[in-house]
Every structure is written in C-alpha cells, then in structure tokens.
Amino acid sequence: MESDGLGPFRLAPWFSERPWGRLDLRPWYSETGTKERVGEAWLTGPQCVVETGEFAGRTLAQVAAEAGERLVGAGGKDLVGKDGGAEFPLLVKLLFPREKLSVQVHPDDAMARSMGEPRGKTECWYVMDAEAEAKIALGLGVGVTVEAVRAAIGAGNLEELLEWVPVSAGEMVFVDAGTVHSIGPGVVLLETQQTSDVTFRMYDYGRGRELHLEEGLRALKTRTAAGKVKPRAMDGFVRLIEQKYFVVDRYDVAAGDEAIVPVDGAGCVVGLSGLATVVGEGCEAVELPMGRAVVVPSGRREVIVKTGAGASFVRCFAP
C-alpha cells in the first residue's frame, strides 16, 4: 500500500553552533545563517523545515504530529515522543569537528526511560572525509574501571584511558549506547542515531561547559559492541550497517542511470555527492542535492532515484 498520498519531501538542514565546529562548511554548505562555528548540520531534526510538498514550511515535528502514521507507520513505543505523539525515528546529522569533541556518553533505552526520556541514543558514524592522522575515541582501554574513569576526570587526563582509533573515508563505526567516546579533528562524519539528544559530557578540555559526571558514570559501560563495521555488497548497493535501531546503505548511481530503492519503514535518503531526483509513485519529483535529506514516509514500497551526471546517496531507515 502507498502511504495515503504522502510523498517524499525534502528538509532544510538546521545548523547547530558548537565551540569545536567550523566557520566554513564548504563544499557541503555555502551558507549556514550564522557567523559562529557550526559543529552539526541536523538533516532530520524535529526543527528542520520542510522545503517541498504539502507540508512545506512546517517543521518535521509538526509533520509527525499532523501526519502520524502516514509518516512513521503503525510504529510503537520507539516512534513515540515525550508528548506521546508520533516522532520521526532517526536523527541524521553531518558533523564538522575542527577541534576535539567533549568526551561523552549516551544512555541506553532503560536508563533514558528511567529519566522520563522516550529512548536512549545508539548511533553510528559514516566517515565522509578524513585527514591522514584523523582519529576517534571509542570506548575505554582494557581493564579500565568506573573508579579509574572518575579519578582520571578529577586529574584531567581522561583522554589517556580511551581507545583512540584511526579512521579513513568510507569506514563505518558503530557507537553503542554506553560507549564513552569522542571525535578528533580532521573528519566529516554522517551520523545516524536514535532520535534523542541526551548526552552526558564527562570531560571538555576546559571549555567551561556544564559536565554531567554522575549521570555519565551511571550510563557508561566498560565494554560495549562499538567498533568498525565491515561493509557488505548487496544487489545494487552496499550495506554499511544493520543494527536494531537503524540500517544504512550506500548507493552510487552512474550518470544517466537510476536506482530503485526499496523502503522498509520510515526513513530518508541523504545526498553525498552530485545531484539526484527522488520520485515516488503518484508524487512530485524532489531534488536531492548533497547535504540534504529527503524523507520517505513509511508505507511506500519504493522510490526511484535518478541522476543526470552521477550521484551518491545513503538510505537510512528504522527497521
């Protein structure tokens, strides 16, 4: 069945100012609307404004509230926001660190719900660009205890207890909830995560921002499933990651060609390079430039992505 006529629609990115971000986000974005450093471009954030289709001018949060199951499907508890209404299940971002991010950790579902939040925050990072020495911090070293973490925070040397991992363009990294992590400079990451912004900042290099030490110590897990994920060649695309909360696939479409993209649950397609057009049965075509997300409502069997000069994009959906 089609989704009651609700077709794919494009969102404008929402730019989040961060002290560790960049002033210049080209080639991804020529303008951000601010003169401050931008660390994140939210592509499917609740405050992102719809640019095309019947809901143009509304935010994604408003669309979810008005369209309900037309957008997210029958859903369940994982698609419900704090107000009890429908919520788009995935928050997709581009990250632009110029300096190290804070050392932080996110709660799992159980801890988040004990705090009154609808869900925790498990995420993944697809490395879009990386300088030669780029690294991420992913988890604690072998044998590091919660008590050792507390002591290291007090001594100002928590970085030394982390596992720092080199990364290269094209790699996918899984960041399980409870994983203590950070991101170094010199990378551009596409982050796909549960729709949540609950972050416990444990160490921030003296930037003066609020820390959440006790919450972070409760949330952290000394060992998690976090790590690099090997891509899998599929029929016409590459599966970058498949987890409980999200699936991310990469498509590379040659000039003048098209890709038939099956849809299984609410999700989106995100332009990585080139210019493409997303077509749904009985709906207006929607342009997909790089750095933009086109939301594909739950209930559509498939969309067709066409390109004149060649394009790459990812499909992100909640299984």
Residues with a known catalytic role: 201
Question: Nearest 5°: CA angle at 124, between 142 and 309?
Answer: 140
314 half-sphere exposure, CB direction, 13 A CA radius? 26
User: Exposed/middle/buried for 82, CB within 10 Å: 0-12, 13-18, 19+?
Assistant: exposed
Q: 3-state DSSP call for residue 311? A: strand
SS3 241: strand
According to DSSP, the residues that pair with 91 across neighbouring strands are 193
Which tokens in the block code for residue 8?
């794919």
- Reduce the DSSP state of residue 101 to 3 states and report it: coil
Q: Which two tokens stand for residue 106?
A: 């996110």
Q: Is 155 helix (H, G, I), strand (E, B) or coil?
A: helix
Contact by Cβ (8 Å): 305, 269: yes
First to last CA, the chain: 17
What span, in angstroms and rounded, lies between the C-alpha atoms of 205 and 163? Answer: 17
DSSP type of residue 219:
H
d(CA 95, CA 93): 6
